[in-house]
Amino acid sequence: MGRAPCCDKENVKKGPWSPEEDAKLKDYIEKYGTGGNWITLPQKIGIKRCGKSCRLRWLNYLRPDIKHGGFSEEEDNIICSLYISIGSRWSIIAAQLPGRTDNDIKNYWNTRLKKKLLGRRKESQSGRLTGSIEDPKDGNGIETLSNSAIERLQLHMQLQSLQNPNNMSMWPCKLNPVQERIMHSIQLFNESPNPLLMQHVLTNGPSNNHIQQVYSPPSNMFVNQMDNFINVDGGSSSYVTGPDCVKQTSMEFQQYLAIQAEIDQILSNKRANSISVDQAQGNEVDFFKDMDSGKDMMTWWSNEFEANSASSNSWDSSSVFDHQQLDIKY
């Protein structure tokens, strides 16, 4: 017993829309609106399409204010910053870019922007960064869950290193708790490359309780941060303030814990590797070796991106939320 289909799958057309279908849908919606019911819309119009398909076609293509292609550098910056901050929540990102759809931004990120930012790194690091997004089949089975978290972490650190490549101690004031915990561990590891110390830090780092204290819904600080964020565009976002914001914040917190758990698991794996193999060989763990040098991280980026970033601070992941950096204290 599966879920009931939203439409009669046998009698609906799939695939690309014809100009006639486009015209019918556009004309009808411009004259009468959707009537608040997408499911019945195709029947009213006389086209053999699923209501969801009509909605998607309207929102992603036929809407009058849609922009296609030609993303500006500013839009790139916003997408990058928001992706680092909130991950693949395309609808929220799209809400900050008038005329852009979530689908458009998602495609743009996956096909171009991500490669632009990480492509060079892939070349220089291929086969070296185990347990990361670059090697989803290296055998420990957790990478697919971790892509977003690791990718965001890498991007964020990259941005920080570009701004201040010689001062790693600046990280804690910009990173979120999970990132900070990792970077704190890396710093200690650099100062004293002792896997047991690393293990201690990772195990006894900032606790969930502490993070919860900062991020849980009752925290006015975080609610306000989210409140500011989701209303940047003056309210056109589908998210709202007040009780719903608390709901949203709670979700954020749950996701946050999930990401932390993922990263903990990665670190746990790497830690085990480091003790059993790397320590014996006197080597640093690849994962940390990758992140311990701002100079090394510079190679992640394309020259074009480096040039852009060096000439301005527009790529600072904090730029979008300068007014609302989380005040994290341990």
* Contact map string, positions 193 to 232, toward DNA, x by CB under 7 A: ----------------------------------------
Residue 126 is a binding residue for DNA (CB under 7 A): no
Residue 3 is a binding residue for DNA (CB under 7 A): yes
Q: Which of 112, 71, 109 is nearest to 90 (CA)?
A: 109
> From the list 72, 194, 236, 238, which residue makes contact with DNA (rule: CB under 7 A)?
238
Residue 190 is a binding residue for DNA (CB under 7 A): no
Closer to DNA at the Cβ: 112 or 128? 112
Secondary structure, 3-state, 8-46: CHHHCCCCCCCHHHHHHHHHHHHHHCCCCCCCCHHHHHC
C-alpha radius of gyration, the chain, whole number: 23
Q: How many Cβ atoms sit within 10 Å of the Cβ of residue 320?
A: 18
Residue 44 is a binding residue for DNA (CB under 7 A): no
Q: Which of 119, 181, 125, 128 is nearest to 153 (CA)?
A: 181
Residue 52 is a binding residue for DNA (CB under 7 A): yes
- The structure tokens listed for 38 are 């997408």
> From the list 25, 47, 50, 211, which residue makes contact with DNA (rule: CB under 7 A)?
50
The residues, ordered by sequence, that sit 6+ positions from 62 with a Cβ below 8 Å of its Cβ are 22, 25, 26, 29
* Contact map string, positions 242 to 271, toward DNA, x by CB under 7 A: --x--x---x--------------------
Binding site for DNA (CB under 7 A): 2-4, 6, 9, 13-17, 34, 36-39, 49-53, 55-57, 60-61, 68-69, 88-92, 102-104, 106-108, 110-112, 115, 148, 238, 244, 247, 251
